[in-house]
Amino acid sequence: MLRDCRLVYVAPRSGVGGVGDYADDFADAVRPHFAEVIEYRHEGPGSHSMRDILRHRKAIQELVDADPGRVIVHCELSGGSVMPFWATAQLTGDPVVTATVHDPPGLVWWPARTKFLAGKKVLNHGLHYPLRSAWRALERRVAGSRTLFALTRSGADSLAREYPDATAKASALFVPARPDITPAEERPLAVGLFGLVYRGKGFDQIHQLRDSLPRDIAIRIAGRGTELLDPVDGVEILGEVNGPDEDAFFASIRALVLPYGKRSIYGDAFPASSVVTRAIAYQTPVTCLKVGALAESDSGALVVDGGVDELADATAELITDPIALGKLRREVEALRISHTAELVVEDFVSVWAAQ
C-alpha cells in the first residue's frame, strides 16, 4: 500500500524552469497517496560540480537507508540534469526508482555536462555530439529496468525504442487551474504567441507570420524574455504576464499559434509543451506545425503540415470561422477537465502501487 510508503521526490526547486514549476504541482498531487513525501529539491541543469553530485548522492542514499523497505525514489530528468541522473543511479538497498523524462528520448542528453562544461558550450558539444551513440548506451545502462514516464505518447514510444530493458509509460502535463474567460469565438480578432523565449519556439518567425496573416488579424506576444525582442510593426509585445495580466492576454486572442521548429542537432525530441497546457487552461484553441510531440495533438489543436505560411493561412481560416473555432474550443474545455493534476497523477500512482 502506497499509504504506508515514503516517496523521495528529487526535482528542481520551485522556479527553476518549467520542470521546477511542474514539480510543485506534482508534489502536491501525489502527497495524499503516501504516508510521507520528502521533497529533495535542487538547482537546475549546469549548476552542479562532480563534488556536488557526490554530495547529493550521499544525501539521497541516506534518505533511502532510513527506511529501505518502504521507499520509492522518483526524479525529474531533463536535458543536462546530470545531478539527479547520477545521484539516483544504482542506489543501494534496491529501492524502487522511477523517473519522468521531460525531453525524450534522451534522459539527459549530455551526461557529462557538469558546472564546468555548462560554461563551455563548444567543449560540451565537442565531447557529447561525436560520441552520442556511446552516451546513449550509458543512459541505457543507467536506466536499466526502471519505469520511465514521458508526458507525451510519442515520447513514451521513443523511450520504449531506446531503452528496451526499461518500462515506458505515457502520461501528460497537468493543466493548471485558471479562470473561465470569454469563449474564443467571441474574443477580439487576434492570435497570440506565448512562452519563454529561446531557440525553436517560433519567436524568430514573427516577421514572416505578420506578413502572412491578414492585417486585420492582430498579433499579441507575451512571455518571459519577449520584452527583449525587436519591435515588429503590427505586433504587440507585452513581456512577461502573470495573474490578471495573463488572464487578459488570453482573453484578447482567439487562438495561440505555435510556429515551433526543430531545435536540436542531436535528433528529434518529444517533450510536452507547457505552453499548450496554459492555452488549454484558458480554453484557447492552438494552431501548430507538425513537429515532434505537437504532431500527436488529436483534439483542441489544429495541426498543420508545411511551414509558417501554411500555418498562417490555416490559422486565419480557423479564427474567422465561428463554428469551427467553437468546436475546437469545446474540445479544449474537455481536455481542461480531464487533465487536472489529481486525475493525471493516477498514471504514476497505479504504477507505483503495482511495484
Task: Give the pLDDT of residue 294.
Answer: 63
Q: 198 pLDDT exceeds 80?
A: no
* 301: confidence class by pLDDT, cuts 50, 70, 90: confident
Over residues 60-66, the mean pLDDT reads 96
* 165: confidence class by pLDDT, cuts 50, 70, 90: very high
Which sign, positive or negative, has the C-alpha torsion 302, 305, 308, 314?
negative
Cα 144 → chain centroid: 24
Over residues 73-81, the mean pLDDT reads 96
Q: Which CATH superfamily is 184-338 part of?
A: Glycogen Phosphorylase B; (3.40.50.2000)
Beta bridge partners of 9: 39, 74
DSSP state of 36: E
- pLDDT tens-place string over residues 100-139: 999 999 999 999 999 999 999 999 999 999 999 999 999 9
Over residues 149-155, the mean pLDDT reads 94
Task: Give the pLDDT of residue 299.
Answer: 67
Q: Rounded distance, CA 182 to CA 189, Å?
A: 13
Q: 67 pLDDT exceeds 80?
A: yes
Q: 336 pLDDT exceeds 60?
A: yes
Task: Give the pLDDT of residue 104.
Answer: 96
237 close to 230: Cβ distance less than 8 angstroms: no
Task: Give the pLDDT of residue 298.
Answer: 61
Q: Rounded distance, CA 249 to CA 229, Å?
A: 18
Q: What does R_g of the chain's alpha carbons equal in angstroms?
A: 21
Q: 187 pLDDT exceeds 60?
A: yes
Task: Give the pLDDT of residue 85.
Answer: 98
Other beta carbons within 10 angstroms of residue 52's beta carbon come to 17
Phi/psi region, residue 186 (left: phi>0; alpha: psi -120 to 50; beta: rest), is alpha
Task: Give the pLDDT of residue 339.
Answer: 93
Nearest Cα residue to 101 out of 146, 58, 63: 146
349 close to 33: Cβ distance less than 8 angstroms: yes
Cα 101 → chain centroid: 9
What CATH number does the domain located at 2-174+340-354 have?
3.40.50
Q: What's the grid cell of residue 63?
A: 534518505
225 close to 196: Cβ distance less than 8 angstroms: yes
* 199: confidence class by pLDDT, cuts 50, 70, 90: low
Task: Give the pLDDT of residue 296.
Answer: 65
Per domain, the residue ranges of the chain are 2-174+340-354, 184-338
Over residues 96-102, the mean pLDDT reads 97
E strand or H helix that includes residue 54: helix 50-65
Instruction: Please tell me if the domain spanning 2-174+340-354 has the same topology as the one spanning 184-338.
Output: yes
Q: Rounded distance, CA 303 to CA 331, Å?
A: 14
Q: What's the grid cell of residue 66?
A: 532510513
* 254: confidence class by pLDDT, cuts 50, 70, 90: very high
Over residues 305-325, the mean pLDDT reads 95
Q: Rounded distance, CA 201 to CA 91, Å?
A: 37
Over residues 164-182, the mean pLDDT reads 95
pLDDT mean across residues, the chain:
92
* 263: confidence class by pLDDT, cuts 50, 70, 90: low
Other beta carbons within 10 angstroms of residue 230's beta carbon come to 8
Q: 292 pLDDT exceeds 80?
A: no
Q: Residues 6 or more apart from 204 whose CB is under 8 A from it?
A: none
183 close to 324: Cβ distance less than 8 angstroms: no
- What is the phi/psi pair of residue 36, to 5°? -155, 140
Cα 319 → chain centroid: 27
* 150: confidence class by pLDDT, cuts 50, 70, 90: very high
* 200: confidence class by pLDDT, cuts 50, 70, 90: low
Task: Give the pLDDT of residue 169.
Answer: 98
pTM over the 0.75 mark: yes
Q: Rounded distance, CA 11 to CA 19, Å?
A: 8
Q: Could you give the percent of the chain with pLDDT greater than 90?
A: 77
Query: How big is the chain, counted in residues?
Result: 355
Q: 315 pLDDT exceeds 90?
A: yes
- pLDDT tens-place string over residues 18-50: 898 899 999 999 999 999 999 999 999 999 999
* 17: confidence class by pLDDT, cuts 50, 70, 90: confident
